[in-house]
Structure 1
Amino acid sequence: MTRRGRFAPTPSGLFHMGNAFSALAAWLQMRQIGGQLLLRIEDIDKPRSRPAFAEQQMQDLRWLGLDWDEGPDIGGPHAPYEQSKREDLYEKALNELVKKELLYPCFCSRAELASIGSAPHGLSSEGGAYPGFCSQLTETEQAVRRISKEPALRFRMPHRQWTFCDAFAGEHDFSGKALGDFVVKRADGMFSYQLAVVVDDAAMGITDVLRGRDLLDSTPRQLALYEALGLTAPSFAHVPLIGDASGERLSKRDKSLTLASLREDGASPQRLIGLIGCLAGWLDRAEPVTAHELLPHFTTDVTKDRMLAITPDMLDWVRGKSICDD
């Protein structure tokens, strides 16, 4: 069976170096083994998504020298490749979960949810574990609350251990109880990332999911959904995040570190790829290389760090403003 990977950005801002790292790694993983790579635009959060960002992101990927076999611009057998056009599939999966009595309505306010607290920044994709305030409401209690508030729908996370081996991050073990029940459809009608990505990856035949380390704890939640829906789960790989010299995670709000900004400052894609290759441990030193030249060096047996730091000197080198290439 042909292995299939994907890169699935959210068009809510411009790409930064962390996005470039994930995209490059996903491309290298599939191209090295002769697999297929598709591009999917994860614009399920319509208020935050912008078509202009999606177009700019595709331009950035092409600037890096990356291509894809299926996507919104070239089509393919699994179209559409924009989540905003696939909501009927999410609704069908939701109805299946309802029939299996794996969901329950949640009427909690934002203030109540905020009182739960959250996990350390960068380590949780869902925040603190939901304590189950609404999990035992009777049908009568639910009906009364529906009069004044439309509920979200939560998935009952099985209270067992979820173990998987991550290609980059190694073996991980999560407690379902500690993760807590999670939302699959918000009160405003928006489907959650967790549900949409499982439905799409299964429908598109994805065998290998490679993404950033900030989504590591999404994996056990998604494994639970794969199991509940009777779907085959892919293999997972979570690359380290890229942060600044102070250890802070890069943000789409930091325009100085976006690929668009680096391009305007004279950066070359070969230097950016070379720096990423060095940070990841695929190269001994930063040197200008193309994505194709990096193919023989790609491996998952490299750094296990959660975050890779990029310094101002490194950025100067990428921009071609450093005298020495060491």
Structure 2
Amino acid sequence: MADTATVRFAPSPTGPPHLGNVRTALFNWLLARATGGRFILRIDDTDRKRYDAESERQMLDLLRWLGLDWDEGPDVGGPHAPYRQSERLELYHQAVERLVADGRAYRPAEEPEIVRLRTPRRGTLTFHDLIRGDVTFRYDRLPEDIVLIKSDGFPTYHLATVVDDHAMGITHVLRGEEWIPSTPLHILMFEALGWPPPLFVHLPLVTDRSGQKLKKRDPAFLASTYRQGGYLPEALINYLALLGWHPGTEEEVFTPPELVERFSLERISKSPSAFDGERLRWFNRQHIARLAEERLLQETLPLIRAAYPQAGQYDRAWLARLVRLVRDELSTLNDVVPAVRFAFVPAERPDQFTPEAWEALHSEQASPVLRAFREALLTVRPAEPLHSAEMLRDLRKRFREAEGWGGRTVMFPIRAALTGSVTGPHLSDIVDLLGREECLRRVERALAIIGQ
């Protein structure tokens, strides 16, 4: 593991945050936390034509939701403030004046409002990437005399990045491999200014399953798609950490603290990683299954109440029982809405039943089974416990011995009548949750549907 690292995440707020942003932020955060270092948030907003304040707000809000806390930044301050590049123009102009005075940069006669860096055209430049080894560029393949200060007086990305990385004491630069061609330009600027460059780590690309680079505006790559889609922040972090890094074990499901404990630069891959939405969904299911019940309720009860206003008629304990029944069905938090529908919306029309449930309800066994279930419910006084597991067991035994019917043949019509489906939580749990009176109402409606 590296020595104590000072790293930065420096997004350019020109559009909605995407998963590439998140993974870059995550790897920087993991390195800082794993080494007891510092994680700095810097806003690279020198492209004033494309800068979007709402994108910046979304990025900060997303990082907070993910739990990727920063030690210094535009909202928390710190010893290297300010943290928006648009507020650091004096630093960039000071650096440029040094370069001009030293003959390392110049103002072209035909464009005196801009400043260019003198770049060599012969020979090669080699830099060391901590995961890729030595990377060599020929000078004649680099852009010639790149712009440092634009005509609007703002620095280019290259100059601002170099000046700020030095001023903020950045020790490690972790960024996507698409920035490899820019690295020799940055090193030339570090050398021209007499500053030691940081260590570089260029993270592998994230592609789609066909190997194509993910598009930033593709909804499948936008972070908001998953936040709004009912994904847990820890699941997103877990999955993205494994896109380009290996924990050194067969285990895959980790909490953020467990990732910090295991993280090392040595296990970062050079090969592209393919984003797989189904794999992310699997990780989310694992993290939902591991949630403490109180956290699960905090996440799901607002969704239930928004979808079913009638949920307000029930106390929190009853709603907690309901969520407990369906938690094994949840791959996303949003799945709770269809999963609990049976509790609030009785199936009364054909379109409210699944095809399998409609078929079970119209089987020749449905009428005698439902009438027997109704009789069993009526034998229980309203204030008495239902003992539903025993009740259903007796029904199965009765029809097996009298008619030779199997368990599904008996249970499916009851389940269909109560929920509109033949799948879901244990039937005895559903009966207990709905209670005697609601079960009777639903059985009566089902018998009416089939004309009994």
TM-score (norm 2): 0.58
The C-alpha deviation readout for 1:189-241, integer Å capped at 9, x for no partner, is 33111100111111111111111111112221111101111112111111112
- CA shift at 1:24, angstroms? 0.8
The C-alpha deviation readout for 1:104-161, integer Å capped at 9, x for no partner, is 456xxxxxxxxxxxxxxxxxxxxxxxxxxxxxxxxxxx3xx45xxx664321223332
Q: Which residue of 1 aligns with 2:150?
A: 186
Q: Which residue of 2 aligns with 1:161?
A: 124
> Which of 140, 144, 158 is matched with 1:177 structurally?
140
Letter in 2 for 1:166: D
Letter in 1 for 2:212: E
| Contiguous gaps of at least 5 residues in structure 1 | 107-141
Letter in 2 for 1:302: R
Q: How does 1:21-170 map to 2 (within 5 A)?
A: 21-105=23-107, 142=109, 145=110, 152-158=114-120, 159-170=122-133
Q: Which residue of 2 aligns with 1:256?
A: 220
The C-alpha deviation readout for 1:169-193, integer Å capped at 9, x for no partner, is 2221122222132221233433111
The C-alpha deviation readout for 1:57-86, integer Å capped at 9, x for no partner, is 111112222111110010011100000100
Q: Distance in 1 between matches of 2:278 and 2:223?
A: 17
Change over 3 Å in CA distance of 1:324–1:275 after alignment to 2: farther
Structure with greater strand share of residues: 1
Q: Which residue of 2 aligns with 1:218?
A: 182
Question: Do structure 1's residue 269 and structure 2's residue 222 form an aligned pair?
Answer: no
CA contact (8 A) 2:244 2:272 kept: no
For the residue of structure 2 that corresponds to 1:222, the secondary structure is helix
Q: Distance in 1 between matches of 2:280 and 2:31?
A: 25
For the residue of structure 1 that corresponds to 2:267, the secondary structure is coil
Q: Distance in 2 between matches of 1:312 and 1:38?
A: 30
Question: Do structure 1's residue 209 and structure 2's residue 211 form an aligned pair?
Answer: no
Change over 3 Å in CA distance of 1:71–1:274 after alignment to 2: same
Segment of structure 1 superposing worse, 39-48 or 283-292: 283-292
For the residue of structure 2 that corresponds to 1:5, the secondary structure is strand
Q: Distance in 2 between matches of 1:212 and 1:48?
A: 21
Q: Which residue of 1 aligns with 2:272?
A: 307
Letter in 1 for 2:260: L
Q: Distance in 2 between matches of 1:302 and 1:43?
A: 32
CA contact (8 A) 2:235 2:280 kept: no
Q: Distance in 1 between matches of 2:85 and 2:272?
A: 29
For the residue of structure 1 that corresponds to 2:213, the secondary structure is coil
Segment of structure 1 superposing worse, 175-184 or 285-294: 285-294
- CA shift at 1:18, angstroms? 1.3
Aligned residues: 285
For the residue of structure 2 that corresponds to 1:280, the secondary structure is coil
Q: Distance in 2 between matches of 1:216 and 1:162?
A: 13
TM-score (norm 1): 0.79
Q: Which runs of 4+ in 1 moved over 4 A?
A: 284-288, 318-325
Segment of structure 1 superposing worse, 185-194 or 264-273: 185-194
Which one scores higher on RCO, CA 8 angstroms, separation ≥ 6?
Answer: 1
> Which of 222, 240, 250 is matched with 2:204 structurally?
240
Change over 3 Å in CA distance of 1:256–1:310 after alignment to 2: closer
Q: Distance in 2 between matches of 1:248 and 1:29?
A: 28
Change over 3 Å in CA distance of 1:2–1:278 after alignment to 2: closer
RMSD: 2.5
Structure with greater helix share of residues: 2
For the residue of structure 2 that corresponds to 1:190, the secondary structure is coil
For the residue of structure 2 that corresponds to 1:202, the secondary structure is helix
Q: Distance in 2 between matches of 1:35 and 1:55?
A: 25
For the residue of structure 2 that corresponds to 1:81, the secondary structure is coil
Q: Distance in 2 between matches of 1:223 and 1:101?
A: 17
Letter in 2 for 1:279: L
Q: Percent identity?
A: 40
